[in-house]
């Protein structure tokens, strides 16, 4: 065979193929290990991010509740009384008697709230506020009937009593609600939404199995609500993610006296 043909023999090329196959297989193993490590790292990062999102939603809800309290006090200063709730069902379909339209529902003939329990949706249209909490559900609103009635009924004054209260899980009245009492309680049913109402479909969600959350859902016109530290499902304290606030009687009186609306 000529030297020229010997120079182009493919023996050396073929002899390298096994080495390339081994190199390729080792690289795939490395990639698999790298992907596994990256997955672990992403998992450790995503959990705190989820927690941060939930904390941000709670903080946003707390701010919205403070804005609602201001709007309620402003309404009382302007009108002389607090708004009635927006009923969640029933109604005649009239201007002040339509469920889930965001407008307070009251009997124009008597000046008294249509919802005999004085509990329902926050009347967001009446107050000029947003339609829902960060989870897309209505805020629940409970007002003491004496503070929401208007002419021809008697409008509240400095001697008007209230029996609304907010307690801890153990039933002790929170200092901010005692001894003056609350004239209105506003709450979000939180992330799990148990007992809340979907703001898009107006669908009532089922109640919670947690006793403290049941208190806020089943209260529906009752006089006592619960506010405590948020705990997850499976906690020994029971699941609780409601965010609750209230408008105290004396803070409201102070605002109205300063505005010349009382006594």
117 lies in some domain: yes
Provide the residue-wise pLDDT of the chain in tens; the chain has 263 residues: 445 445 545 544 444 545 554 544 567 777 788 788 877 776 666 566 677 888 999 999 999 999 999 999 999 999 999 999 999 999 999 989 999 999 999 999 999 999 878 999 999 999 999 999 999 999 999 999 999 999 999 999 999 999 998 988 877 777 655 557 899 999 999 999 999 999 999 999 998 989 899 989 876 678 889 999 999 988 888 899 999 999 999 999 999 999 999 98
What is the pTM (predicted TM-score) of this model? 0.80
Q: How many CB atoms lie within 10 A of CB 226?
A: 23
48 lies in some domain: no
22 lies in some domain: no
17 lies in some domain: no
Side-chain half-sphere exposure of 4, counting CA atoms within 13 A: 0
204 lies in some domain: yes
24 lies in some domain: no
109 lies in some domain: yes
Range of the domain at 127: 59-258
Counted domains in the chain:
1
28 lies in some domain: no
């Amino acid at each position: 065979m000529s030297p020229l043909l010997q120079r182009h023999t493919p023996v050396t090329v073929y002899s390298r193929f096994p080495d390339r196959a081994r190199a390729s297989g080792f690289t795939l193993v490395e990639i698999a290990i790298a992907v596994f490590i990256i997955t672990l790292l992403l998992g450790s990062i995503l959990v705190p991010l989820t927690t941060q999102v939930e904390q941000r939603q709670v903080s946003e809800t707390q701010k919205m509740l403070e804005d609602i309290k201001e709007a309620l006090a402003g309404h009382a200063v302007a009108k002389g009384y607090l708004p009635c709730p927006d009923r969640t069902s029933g109604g005649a379909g009239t201007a002040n008697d339509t469920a889930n339209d965001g407008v307070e529902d009251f009997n124009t003939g008597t000046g008294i709230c249509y919802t005999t329990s004085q509990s329902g949706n926050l009347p967001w249209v009446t107050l000029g506020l947003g339609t829902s909490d960060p989870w897309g559900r209505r805020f629940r609103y409970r007002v003491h009937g004496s503070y929401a009635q208007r002419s021809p009924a008697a409008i509240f004054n400095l001697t008007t009593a209230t029996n609304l209260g907010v307690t801890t899980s153990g039933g002790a009245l929170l200092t901010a609600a005692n001894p003056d009492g609350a004239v209105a309680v506003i709450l979000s049913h939180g992330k799990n939404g148990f007992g809340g109402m979907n703001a898009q479909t107006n669908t009532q969600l089922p109640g919670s199995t947690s006793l403290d959350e049941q208190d806020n859902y089943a209260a529906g016109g009752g006089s006592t609500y619960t506010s405590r530290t948020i705990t997850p499902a499976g906690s020994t304290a029971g699941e609780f993610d409601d965010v609750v606030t209230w408008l105290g009687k004396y803070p409201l009186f102070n605002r109205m006296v300063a505005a010349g609306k009382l006594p």
